[in-house]
Structure 1
Amino acid sequence: MTQESVTLIIRHSARPDSVAAYEAILRELTRAASEFPGHQGVDVLRQGDRFTSVLRFASAGQLQDWLDSPQRRELIERAEPLLLDGDNQERHDAHEFWFTPAETGQKPPPRWKQVIVTYLVILPLVMLVPQLWKPLFQVLPWLGGFLLSNVLITLTIVVLVVYLFMPRVTRLFAGWLNAR
């Protein structure tokens, strides 16, 4: 039986007068999560007093161990008085969280729309990123070898897609993606 990684998205809205105190607890939460078996990383996005944490674990069981842990329970109990609307969680066994609607109960967009948006993001990067690396590969030929150049190009594309373009593009196309 193969284990597929699982992603947990946690949204917290801190009370305006409690943002600094919440951030301190959030740092403790991310550090504690990183020490749990199966932890594969966490990204925290902040928009004013709203925080979105994206945690990845190697398996659903390992994620559940973290969620049920006394460490997390104690930290969440400390954080709850600092929050406007509690501990809001979304679990995703697949990696479709870019396309998860903000409103609860709303269905994700059809896969064909997800494919189009993803294609529109990745296509220009696949054409542009190798050209941007090309001058460096010419100056440092050892960096331009088949394996290393492909690792650098792919890493650049993945980082740009995940951190820069997909969050913005899904917001830009939200009306079309979620139109029924």
Structure 2
Amino acid sequence: MAPLSDSELFDSGHFVYTIHSVIPCESRQSFEDFQREMNEVANRFEGYRGQSISFQEKEDGQHVLATTRIVFEALDQCLHWLDSPQRRGLLHQAETLMNYRYQGTLEADSFDQWIQMRQPKKVPIWKVNLLVWLALYPSVMLLTVFGSSSLGRLPLPLNMLIGNLITVLLTGHFLVPWLSRLYGNWLHSQSLRLAWLGTVSVFVMQVVLLGLFSSLPGML
């Protein structure tokens, strides 16, 4: 399957998942070869529509930021690929053979389209971002608390790789869908009063979570 252009990616209405990787300049060709192999394997999975890759030089002149966007017809199909043994095997092979530091970050935009497609009216992006923020904070904190004795012992690149996978599955399968249903009225309400109440409730929940996690031993 040929790489997709940005216009094809974002005009498709499908689920777009974005991954950022920081790699040495000399590893760029190896990284592109690796992504082509990933594309060939992903093409065997249901709902896969393609990928696009862009590069941006870092300020140190020795690394580049590679932005990879993969497209699936639905969120669950994308999560099936992200958690597949085939993808994990390729990533392990890349870590072993390619000497670059992997940094994966989850973009809120990856969930924006999924929520938008399931709402009858257009949802303001700032509301979507608040829900993703509300989902990510407890996910990352729980992973930090319960994974310190296991993931914390791993090398940082592998720790980040596994940690991001767990966070994506937790937010994508459970928290984001649950919060989008819980805040369904708030997401597409035009009422200023309801907008304020919903927004305040998000911040109140974050303050409660902050107090809860701060009270745990060793957090301070």
Q: Tell me: higher relative CO, structure 1 or 2? Use CA pairs within 8 A at least 6 residues apart.
A: 1
Superposition TM-score tier, normalisation by shorter sequence: 0.3 to 0.5
Q: TM-score, normalised by structure 2?
A: 0.39
